[in-house]
Amino acid sequence: MNLKKLAGEKAVEFVENGMVVGLGSGTTAYYAIQKIGEKVREGLKIKCICTSFHTRDLADKWNIPCLDIDEVDQIDLTIDGVDEVDPDGNGIKGGGGALLLEKIVASRSVQNIWVVEERKLIKQLGAFPLPVEIMPFGHQHLLRNFTRRNYHPELRKKGNEVYITDGGHFLADLHLGYIEDPFQLDMELKKIPGVLETGLFLNMVNKVVSASHDKVEVLTFR
Ligand code: A5P
């Protein structure tokens, strides 16, 4: 059973004619985008905003009409994946490397829906390494700063090369184990010069579509 497909496709039931829809990134959002492509082929009239270059490629492949984010005032609904979700609907994103664009799109969206396999619903955030988008300039200093704070940083690599985000930045993955207070940590990280954005998506999601082997559930948070 393909749980990612079940969750991704279920979320597309919330897409309505005339909407501006944010298309997320990652292997679960992939199935939502594919389904949206099918519906567009059958006549669904929507415009989409992409959260990564890869997603834009998929949208083009399936002839989904896309706009630049600056061409719209707001986005009606964004469907995206997530790496961990806690019981309050706060999450960690960026495992696939797209967090800054994803956060800009999510912050402009009236409704955000995350699509997940049930195993990603956890009690406390932090077992998944927290991705933080950082400036290449001075990144070694920044990594040492993170180490002094016991954040256990690891510079994201792709093979032997440093991973470069769609924004042209680097990613530091913080191996925290657990996060006592995600709001406090988010604030602390953003105060450090060189930190561009964190993978903590707090108070942002409206619905989580979670798929397990028994059921597909829609959890509503706000
Ligand atoms: C992209 O960088 C991420 O934020 C993804 O949305 C997140 O990592 C979930 O990805 P998967 O659905 O591939 O697990």
Cα 138 to the center of its chain, rounded Å = 26
Based on the residue annotation, tell me whether 102 is a catalytic residue of this protein. yes
Q: Order of strands, edge to edge, in the sheet holding 153-155?
A: 153-155, 170-174, 130-134, 195-198
* Cα end-to-end distance, the chain, whole Å: 30
Instruction: Kindly report, residue by residue over 53-102, the tens digit of the pLDDT.
Output: 999 999 999 999 999 999 999 999 999 999 999 999 999 999 999 999 99
Spacing, Cα 124 to ligand 1 middle (Å):
18
| Ligand 1, atom 10: closest residue by C-alpha | 26
Of 96, 47, 45, 75, the residue nearest 206 (C-alpha): 75
Confidence of residue 38 (pLDDT cuts 50, 70, 90): very high
Phi, psi at residue 207, to the nearest 5°? -135, 145
Instruction: Kindly report, residue by residue over 129-152, the tens digit of the pLDDT.
Output: 999 999 999 999 999 999 999 999
Looking at residue 89, the DSSP 8-state letter turns out to be: S
Using CA atoms, how far apart are residues 44 and 51, in angstroms rounded to an integer? 21
Residues 6+ apart with CB under 8 A from 42: none
Of 12, 209, 35, the residue nearest 116 (C-alpha): 209
Q: Averaged over 15-37, what is the pLDDT?
A: 98
Contact 30, 76 (CB under 8 A): no
Residues of the chain with pLDDT > 70, as a percent, come to 100
Q: What is the pLDDT of residue 141?
A: 98
Q: Which of 27, 90, 163 to mutate to test the pocket of ligand 1 (most atoms within 8 A of CB)?
A: 27
- Is 64 exposed, middle or buried, given 0-12, 13-18 or 19+ CB atoms closer than 10 A? buried
Spacing, Cα 80 to ligand 1 middle (Å):
8
Helical residues (DSSP H) of 12-98, grouped into ranges: 29-41, 53-61
Contact 208, 11 (CB under 8 A): no
Spacing, Cα 96 to ligand 1 middle (Å):
5
Q: What is the pLDDT of residue 112?
A: 98
Q: Averaged over 17-32, what is the pLDDT?
A: 98
Q: What is the pLDDT of residue 69?
A: 97
Q: Which of 9, 102, 133, 197 is catalytic?
A: 102
| Ligand 1, atom 3: closest residue by C-alpha | 94
Q: What is the pLDDT of residue 159?
A: 96
Using CA atoms, how far apart are residues 121 and 103, in angstroms rounded to an integer? 20
Q: Averaged over 118-125, what is the pLDDT?
A: 98
